[in-house]
Every structure is written in C-alpha cells, then in structure tokens.
C-alpha cells in the first residue's frame, strides 16, 4: 500500500491508496523553546497560534513551499502519519509534491522529512503536474496545458506537455505573504495590531484583487497600537484590494512571463483551452477575472481547487511502476529519490 503527501506551507494532506484523502491538517507545530518538546501538531497547534505562554511557540515549519525547520517538519510528518497509517510489515512508497524550481538541497530536505516516518522509497512530483492530474487532465498527451497552482507558500505556474514541463516559474509569495501584508496594512492604516490568524480570516472573508459590486465588511479585532487597549475596525473589499495588490500583481506577472516564453505551438493549445487555476488562493475574489483581462485568455478555477494537488499525487501512485521507463518518448511523471 502506497501513500501520497502534499506537504504545504499552510496545510498537510495525506492520500492512501484505495482509501483516498485521509488527512487534512494545518502545517503547524507547537513546541517548547527550551526542551524542544512537541505539544501539538496540525489543527490543534493552529488553534494555539498567538495564544501560547512564554517559552512555548506555535510555528509553520514550512515557508515559501520549502522546509524552514527540518527537525520540526520531521516530527510533524511522523506524528500526523501515525494517526492515519499503520504499516507494520511493509514500508510504503511515498509520493510528495514540490515546487517547480526547488533546489537539490530543498529536495533532500523534503525527502528526509518524509523518510523520517520509515518508508521504502520517496518519489517527487512537481506541484503543477500533480494539480493537472488532480483536475483529470491527460498531461501525457502532446497538448499544451497551462496550470497555475496558487497556494499558501508558492504560486507554481507551468506549461505541461507530453508528461513534462515546457516552461515554468515559481513565485515564493502567495497566500501566507498576503496575510503578512494584511497585518502591515491594518497597522499602518488603523493603528491596529492583529495576528496572522485574524489576517487570514479577513482574507477569506473580504480578500480580493478586484472589488466586486456587493458591499461586504469584516470586523477585525486586535490591540490599539497607541493606547494598548482592545479595538476593532470594519474592513471591506476596497481596503483588501489595496493590501493585496502588490502580491497579486507579482503572480499575474509570472503568468504573463510563462506565456511569453511558451513555444508557439503550445501557445495555440493554451489559447483554445485557457488557463486552469488550482490551489487554495485560486478562489480569491476577482483573481480569475483579472488574470483573464491581463492575458486575454479564458481562465477556469477548478471546483475542488484546494485538493487538486493531493488528488493528483494520489493518482500518480499508478505511475510508480513506469517511473524508470520512458515509453514512446514521453517524460517520466515522477522523480525517484
């Protein structure tokens, strides 16, 4: 029995062969700073962010799609996998997704983190490939497909054809960077200090890159930077557009760069089929519309955008047997580590 892992900066998801997705938890670890003792992982640890006592810290050990704290990631992976996996005799093979431009050092960190659970072999697949498989696309055909997988840590944009990547670009500023921008914006404009969890809730409620016709506000609660007293403000779409504009422009610029570097024949396919958005940030209000306006292409947001990568990793399990082969000139979908 083989497993697939989407080790994301925001969420960690696990897929088990013949069972489907069995785990979807926050990529957060709460630990004792002095002793290193782990208090909680996943959603339980996420609930502790910003509320821990002195000497205890709740952190995301992955940042920008790569591992920032290898030891904490190994602990987190081991604890989470123990909750859903019970392989006593045969160690499983594992498929995990990585950004397109990941370095060899970053690859090794991912492999070591996953291997800490005790596995037979680790296979890596680029996030856009996994997302395309999760969308149900035949990426092994000689047909150009542009996938933009926009998550919390990274935005991975790639043109796929014949099982490989023709052109790609990774932006290391996405959902979590937007949360940080919201924290800075609220403090600068309202003298209100808020935490990252509140910023994320605000982004989910009224985050946008193009102001919709409807009027909607979100009550942001925090501490007044001048008096130190509790305070709240009502924030709407226009403020969020201003706060998120820089990062969204960087992501849109990366999509345009990929299109400019794409071979003419593949561009023809993309012109017919359009762009597919996946990832948790794909449903950000106005994002698909503004990408369409900037590129003059159709843009589709997958109905299950957040789970496309883990679904694709699960489907990739079926390709393990042919990984070391190269049938009919097609590129292998997986990289063996």
Residue 270 token pair: 């993309």
Same fold for the pair 135-173+248-303 and 175-243: no
Per-residue pLDDT of the chain (337 residues; tens, 9 = 90+): 789 999 888 999 999 988 889 999 999 999 999 998 999 999 999 999 888 899 999 999 988 778 888 899 989 988 888 888 765 546 788 999 998 888 888 888 888 888 877 778 889 999 999 999 999 998 888 889 999 999 988 999 999 998 889 999 999 889 899 999 999 999 999 999 999 899 999 999 999 999 998 889 999 999 999 999 999 999 999 999 999 999 999 999 999 999 999 999 999 999 999 999 999 999 999 999 999 999 999 999 999 999 999 999 999 988 887 665 554 444 467 777 6
Residue pair 5/116 in contact by the 8 Å Cβ criterion: no
- Give the whole-angstrom CA distance, residue 230 versus residue 227: 9
In 3D, which of 166, 129, 168 has the Cα closest to residue 266?
Answer: 166
* Region of residue 248 (phi > 0: left; psi between -120 and 50: alpha; otherwise: beta): alpha
First to last CA, the chain: 19
**What CATH number matches the domain at 175-243, 3.40.109.10, 3.90.640.10, 1.10.730.10, 1.10.3720.10?**
3.90.640.10
Please list the helix, strand and coil fractions of the chain in percent, rounded to the nearest 5, in that order: 40, 30, 30
pTM (global) more than 0.85? yes
CATH class of 3-133+311-336: alpha beta
- Superfamily in which the 135-173+248-303 domain is placed by CATH: ATPase, nucleotide binding domain (3.30.420.40)
CA-based nearest residue to 28, from 6, 61, 63, 57: 61
CB 142 within 8 A of CB 113: no
Q: Which two tokens stand for residue 74?
A: 């190994």
User: What φ, ψ does residue 229 adopt, rounded to 5°?
Assistant: -90, 160
- For the chain, domain boundaries: 3-133+311-336, 135-173+248-303, 175-243
For 116, half-sphere exposure in the C-beta direction (CA atoms, 13 angstrom radius) is: 19
> How far is it, in rounded angstroms, from Cα 186 to Cα 163?
44
């Amino acid at each position: 029995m083989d497993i697939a892992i989407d080790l994301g900066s925001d969420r960690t998801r696990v897929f088990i062969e013949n069972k489907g997705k069995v785990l979807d938890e926050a990529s957060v670890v709460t630990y004792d700073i002095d002793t290193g003792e782990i208090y909680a992982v996943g959603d339980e640890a996420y609930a502790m962010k910003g509320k821990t006592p002195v000497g205890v810290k709740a952190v995301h050990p992955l940042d920008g799609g790569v591992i920032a704290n290898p030891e904490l990631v190994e602990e987190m992976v081991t604890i989470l996998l123990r909750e859903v996996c019970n392989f006593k005799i045969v160690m499983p093979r594992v498929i995990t997704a990585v950004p397109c431009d990941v370095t060899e050092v970053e690859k090794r960190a991912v492999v070591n983190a996953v291997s800490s659970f005790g596995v037979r072999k680790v296979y890596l697949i680029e996030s856009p490939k996994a997302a395309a498989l999760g969308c149900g696309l035949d990426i092994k055909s000689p047909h150009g497909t542009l996938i933009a997988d926009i998550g919390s840590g990274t935005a991975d944009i790639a043109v796929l054809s014949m099982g490989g990547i023709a052109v790609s670009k990774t932006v290391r500023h996405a959902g979590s960077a937007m949360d940080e921008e919201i924290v800075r914006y609220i403090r600068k404009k309202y003298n209100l200090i808020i935490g990252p969890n509140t910023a994320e809730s605000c982004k989910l409620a009224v985050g946008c890159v193009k102001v919709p016709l409807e009027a909607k506000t979100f009550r942001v609660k925090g501490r007044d930077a001048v008096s130190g007293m509790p305070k709240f403000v009502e924030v709407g779409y226009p403020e969020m557009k201003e706060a998120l504009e820089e990062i969204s422009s960087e992501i849109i610029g990366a999509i345009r760069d990929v299109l400019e570097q794409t071979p003419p024949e593949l561009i023809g396919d993309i012109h017919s089929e359009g762009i597919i958005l996946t990832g948790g940030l794909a449903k950000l209000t106005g994002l698909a519309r503004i990408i369409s306006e900037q590129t003059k292409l159709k843009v589709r947001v997958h109905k299950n955008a957040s789970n496309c990568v883990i679904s694709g990793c699960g489907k990739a399990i079926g390709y393990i047997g042919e990984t070391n082969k190269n049938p009919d000139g097609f590129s292998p979908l997986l990289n063996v580590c």
